[in-house]
Chains A and B, each alone.
Chain A
Amino acid sequence: MGLTLVTGEPLRESQQDPKKEDEMPPISRGFRGRHRDDASSDRVPPGQYVTEDFPVLSAGPTPHTRLEQWDFSITGEVDNPHRWSWEEFRALPTEAVTVDIHCVTKWSKLDSVWEGVSVDTLLEGIETSGEYALPFCDGGYTTNLPLEDLTGGKAWVAFAYDGEPLEPEHGGPARLLVPHLYFWKSAKWVRGMRLAVTNEPGFWETNGYHIYGDPWKEQRYWGD
């Protein structure tokens, strides 16, 4: 997947024009995008480009957890922690969804097709005083969301993409899918979530990225 390294020179050059700089991260993956002109503007949030590709961004090495060692748990502010083995998880009712996804690095992908277990299904019968969730993952990644953004048919734990098992580089065996927020909230390699009374910032939210991340309000960074 041709990585294009753009180091110091272009970045210094772009500093003269903050807008241009914002469009050129220090290291470009060179994926192809097009402006929103040819996609309906009610589908593409401000500042985003539509891509046909599915770029891979990763904060760390790709884990390869064996399914027999995989589980998903809900912990924290619950009466009893819940845990599903892979077999138990896959026995839960599933949903097929077609959604648009929006990465904070400015690409959007329309009509992506997923299959997963609704977070509503996972939370069935769980009593909690927590109003926030901190999904956690293989590799140590975390992110934070209000629980109400994970319920009401808005979020899934997805195990298939485009009719195939989710590839490890895209978060397989399972990733969170929360399409109405920037895609860093859709944590890859998710293994569970801790429910909490307070909104504790996750891996990126502690270091510059927005605590909520609504793409329609361009909530990319602190203070946006």
Chain B
Amino acid sequence: MDALMLDGNAAAGLLQEIFGSEMTTAVGTCHACGTAGEVGGVFLYRGAGLVFRCPQCDAVLMKIVVGGTRRWIDLRGLRALELDLELGT
């Protein structure tokens, strides 16, 4: 447990803005270790941008950079991201 660490719930608003859906209940699968879990529960770090990491293996799942009206999203660390649109409203 790192003192600087947050969890994915802290980025709920930003994720909803980007994906247009409630994302904390979406399930992401780590590309590195295969662990699946809700986005709200993954580890979140704030460096120059936001870094979402796997709670199991610490691999980067997702990066988001916010710059003015622009957003950059790196999803390379997610093997899959499952949204249930019925839940995500």
With known contacts A58-B4, A60-B58, A208–B13 Cβ distance under 8 A:
no
Contact across chains for A209 and B49 when beta carbons are under 8 A apart: yes
With known contacts A60-B58, A208-B49, A7–B11 Cβ distance under 8 A:
yes
With known contacts A26-B50, A27-B46, A221–B68 Cβ distance under 8 A:
yes
CB distance from A119 to the nearest CB of B (A): 22
Complex contacts, A220 vs chain B, CB 8 Å:
67
CB distance from A9 to the nearest CB of B (A): 7
Contact with B along A1-30 (1 / 0, CB 8 A): 101010111111001001001100111010
Contact across chains for A22 and B68 when beta carbons are under 8 A apart: yes
In the assembled complex, A207 has its CB within 8 A of some CB on chain B: yes
In the assembled complex, A169 has its CB within 8 A of some CB on chain B: yes
CB distance from A223 to the nearest CB of B (A): 9
In the assembled complex, A61 has its CB within 8 A of some CB on chain B: yes
Contact across chains for B72 and A208 when beta carbons are under 8 A apart: yes
Complex contacts, A206 vs chain B, CB 8 Å:
74
With known contacts A207-B74, A221-B70, A62–B46 Cβ distance under 8 A:
no
CB distance from B65 to the nearest CB of A (A): 3
Contact across chains for B46 and A60 when beta carbons are under 8 A apart: no
With known contacts A22-B68, A25-B66, A62–B2 Cβ distance under 8 A:
yes
Contact with A along B36-69 (1 / 0, CB 8 A): 0000000101111111010000101001011111
With known contacts A7-B11, A27-B6, A207-B74, A57–B66 Cβ distance under 8 A:
no
In the assembled complex, A59 has its CB within 8 A of some CB on chain B: yes
**Complexed CA–CA distance, A3 and B60 (Å):** 22
Contact with B along A33-68 (1 / 0, CB 8 A): 000000000000000000000001111111000000
Contact across chains for B14 and A11 when beta carbons are under 8 A apart: yes
Partner of B47, one of A12, A22, A58, A140: A58
Contact with A along B10-38 (1 / 0, CB 8 A): 11111011000000000000000000000
**Complexed CA–CA distance, A220 and B48 (Å):** 10
- Using a CB-CB cutoff of 8 Å, which residues 140-179 of chain A contact chain B? 140, 169
Partner of A12, one of B10, B11, B13, B49: B13
In the assembled complex, A204 has its CB within 8 A of some CB on chain B: yes
With known contacts A58-B4, A221-B70, A104–B13 Cβ distance under 8 A:
no
Complex contacts, B65 vs chain A, CB 8 Å:
204, 207-209, 221
Complex contacts, B49 vs chain A, CB 8 Å:
59, 204, 207-209
**Complexed CA–CA distance, A15 and B69 (Å):** 8
CB distance from B8 to the nearest CB of A (A): 11
CB distance from A169 to the nearest CB of B (A): 7
In the assembled complex, A189 has its CB within 8 A of some CB on chain B: no
In the assembled complex, A184 has its CB within 8 A of some CB on chain B: yes
**Nearest 6 Cβ contacts at the A-B interface:** A8-B13, A208-B72, A208-B65, A59-B47, A221-B67, A7-B13
